[in-house]
Structure 1
């Protein structure tokens, strides 16, 4: 397990708290990746309908967008650890029901989609509380390293979770769901043992102003606004991965095995850089490093667009994932450190809306542009657009460009 702690002055309290948090996130992330692969395969086996596969994405996307702001308000009004426990307990019950019904051969697509919807609602309501807990578990000076260690575990889950779920699926979808339920139970146990000191402010009724306070806060903080909007436009424009099947078949002239390598290359790059960042502190020039990383993301996108060799395309995607991890760690730590604790839930909720929306719209933008221009020109336009955004954001957010440290305090 990667650990961001190496100095003798780091307290045992912080180490144990972060370890429990890291184990909880790793277990639940692996479980969710396994769940996703099993549900998709099972629904397609039952119906043979591509439309039903699309519905899986819809029942997950709608709660993520519609409930994110109320979830942020909840995170700032209640004990975050309890909110996370309630959300994960709800997910565990739904997964356990899914496992039981599947093992009893009493499932259909409506029931599967309904349970996935319940899980998605619980995940959405839990997410801002979970994201806001990390700054209270580690000292500010090593938050970036803790963020990198956490991101590396997420990358590992996204790489290995689907493969593990597919392997276990040989024994039947019910076995995958039972395994997922066991992983969620581990996560619940870790969160319940977490020593997390958070005194929520006196509760106030949910009003339009309080629910949307995260948006108003971001607008008043140039560095936070710059970081979140940079992430939004970089993801919107850098949608190369959505077109990988076209590149694999028509440009690189490879088969499914080549497509698998292409899909895995960004995750491998991100994982290795995440491990490296988890053991090193970012002490100076964090603004310039972040902008350079996003620019590197754009250059790697351009290299991929013009490559006609599999090895060069893999190298470009590997670099793309690495650059994205650097900027993601800096962005994530900076937003958390520049946000007071009583606002972190609502700011995290706004950030998650931007991320979810930009991912979906980025894939749509890439597909539409590829239909008009072709796959390679569409990706090249995205790479050039990313570089233009970096230049504009450096001019529009000078304090972010010149920022030296993640923690200004």
Structure 2
């Protein structure tokens, strides 16, 4: 007898799909599973089911004062089964964050901030004395199953006069660690210059906020993709959406997408304010924006399942395969006019709305809160 039988669903291409989960893992996947005995049955009545959505850029350490949230409000309440906190905590507080997240319904992982304090203040990398190898190494070794990456925020308000020095240190630390950890780099106002940041990044590192509308972004004044952006993209740097309050622009994204500068992954940069007041709200709304700009459903779902799992080496997540974690997102597409707003206040109208219904985490079913 299996723990959960998910029946009468469809995959992202419209084909029939049924799944069983046992001991937190996917036990069977097929168009129709016969003779199943289950402790719990979830009848989807034709809804779409995918691997559980993964948001690889959130801020959900509840004890901070700038960027914080409850992981479950960013996670299972919105159809997201796994969240990765993007550097809210550093060596000083990531252990406390780990302990808090053990009681959450959502799977929670973390990138460790290169600053030992994490984001206690906006300028956590304004003082290089906060970047210390011994405490960084100890934290990574203590939480190998929780820390999945390194975070370096490289915008002027964060580094002040330190330019790319924090990223240089992050790359040194990355090289010294016994186990490889990808670095996610936040970019924004200059200095530092985006070209200098990208010059330090290597294949497998993640550029978040990639499609922002700032002068220090990927487009020239004439609206063309800068040459050094293409160089970074072709070197294997992974471009991540990282929507956020200030970091996603419809026009930038549209130009980049048409040119072939496709994001590897879609993330929200969600925390309580942009969840409650927008323009982010949730992952589903972010996916609606991507679909409005031309990506089809299978593509955007891959960008929030397989792609973030690959970005951060979550080899047991992101796909509907036997033996993978029993994490699922159940949702519907609705024909409904809706105004979508980017980070610069620009609005566009979509006619396709995503409505998450359930988040399934290790075989446990959670009903999604109704979208506003």
Q: TM-score range by the shorter chain?
A: under 0.3
| Higher RCO (C-alpha 8 Å, min separation 6) | 1
Q: Which has the higher helix share?
A: 1
Structure number having the greater strand percentage: 2
TM-score (norm 2): 0.24
TM-score of the two chains, using structure 1 as the length reference: 0.22
